[in-house]
């Protein structure tokens, strides 16, 4: 029987906890060791887990490993997606890329930059909304900094429209198909950019997990 508490990377075996034959008892310290190693493989040897980020990572881990008891303590709804907000360069995209690898389900979400979705809309029109409003799980990266879309002379707030489509999909799907996103924006800035209707849908689509507004730029 496969042991879901073990992951092999570059011929090195990492443990995420203990497997009793039916379920995994996760160990956060072991998960951090794995995430640090996987981060170096994905992003280079300069990557490391910062102490000040561990509380954010802990909440994200509780969500992705479906630790319902701790999700409740964190006020996180496991049925919703994650909206990870924070200043430029604080590591949002890296974390959402990394945490796909500890998900116990075999269908991780695809990460796509919002600006690329708008570029696609500018060429293909509403087919783009249909393509990303489908039954796959996505993480929309850098939500809120994209330009308006334009197709055949008509402007559209593409991501706002797409979030409305994803909300409808979320309501219609029995298994609550997830939408995740990263953003540099605050909730108020989101409302100003997308409008109150989209913002209210976002409250129902996402759990908001936020870095401190003073979090440093790790890319420097």
Per-residue pLDDT of the chain (220 residues; tens, 9 = 90+): 478 788 988 889 999 999 888 888 899 999 999 999 999 999 999 999 999 999 999 999 999 999 999 999 999 999 999 999 998 888 899 999 999 998 766 668 999 999 999 999 999 999 999 999 887 899 999 999 898 898 888 889 999 999 999 999 998 877 788 999 999 998 888 888 899 999 999 999 999 999 887 776 777 6
DSSP label at residue 32:
H
Written as six digits, the tokens of 51 are 């102490």
pTM attached to this predicted model:
0.91
pLDDT of residue 105: 67
Written as six digits, the tokens of 45 are 């040897």
Nearest one of 166, 159, 163 to 136, comparing CA atoms: 166
Domains of the chain, start order: 79-210 (3.40.50.300)
The torsion angles phi and psi of 183, rounded to 5 degrees, stand at -155, 150
Dihedral-angle region of residue 173 (phi above 0 means left; psi in -120 to 50 means alpha; beta otherwise): beta
End-to-end alpha carbon distance in the chain: 45
């Amino acid at each position: 029987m496969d042991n879901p508490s073990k992951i092999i990377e570059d011929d090195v075996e990492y443990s995420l906890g203990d497997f009793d034959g039916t379920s995994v008892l996760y160990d956060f310290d072991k998960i951090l060791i794995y995430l640090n190693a996987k981060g170096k493989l994905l992003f280079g040897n300069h990557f490391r887990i910062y102490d000040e980020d561990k509380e954010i990572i802990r909440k994200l881990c509780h969500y992705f490993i479906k630790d319902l008891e701790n999700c409740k303590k964190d006020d996180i709804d496991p049925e919703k997606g994650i909206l990870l907000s924070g200043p430029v360069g604080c590591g949002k995209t890296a974390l959402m890329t990394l945490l796909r690898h500890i998900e116990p389900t075999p269908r991780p979400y695809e990460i796509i930059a919002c600006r690329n979705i708008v570029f696609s809309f500018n060429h293909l029109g509403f087919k783009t909304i249909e393509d990303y409003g489908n039954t796959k799980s996505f993480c929309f990266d850098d939500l809120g900094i994209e330009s308006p879309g334009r197709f055949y002379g008509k402007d559209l707030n593409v991501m706002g429209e797409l979030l409305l489509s994803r909300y409808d999909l979320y309501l219609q799907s029995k298994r609550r198909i997830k939408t995740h996103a990263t953003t540099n924006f605050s909730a108020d800035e989101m409302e100003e950019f997308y409008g109150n209707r989209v913002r209210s849908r976002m409250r129902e689509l996402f759990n908001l997990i936020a870095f401190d507004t003073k979090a440093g730029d790790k890319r420097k």
